[in-house]
Amino acid sequence: MQLDLRTPMGLMFSITGAILVAWGLKTNGDAIYAKSLGINANLWWGIVLLIFGLIMFFLGERRQHKLEEEPPPESDGTERRRGHGH
């Protein structure tokens, strides 16, 4: 499969994280955080998601580049191994 899931997934979590961070900064100290025990849940969890998303994104990108540099078709490896097993 040519599309590494980590790239779009990383992108999605990075954007979500960034949105939460921005929103958390804008609403910092608001009354809405009474619910979350006075913790700015948006800001902190946004940072966590942003870091997770970026790591995923770069892992996916790195693999994509590797595949483009040396294109050994994956299915060949599969067939060889399967033959080995039986």
Q: Identify whether the C-beta of residue 61 lies closer than 8 Å to the C-beta of residue 3.
A: no
| φ and ψ at residue 21, rounded to 5 degrees | -60, -50
Distance (Å, whole) CA 18 – CA 51 = 10
Q: Say whether residue 85 binds another protein (CB under 8 A).
A: yes
Within 7-26, the residues that bind another protein by CB under 8 A are 8-9, 11-13, 15-16, 19-20, 23-24
Distance (Å, whole) CA 18 – CA 33 = 19
Footprint on this chain of another protein (rule: CB under 8 A): 1-3, 5, 8-9, 11-13, 15-16, 19-20, 23-24, 27, 30, 32-33, 35-37, 39, 41-42, 45, 49, 52, 74-75, 77-78, 81-82, 84-86
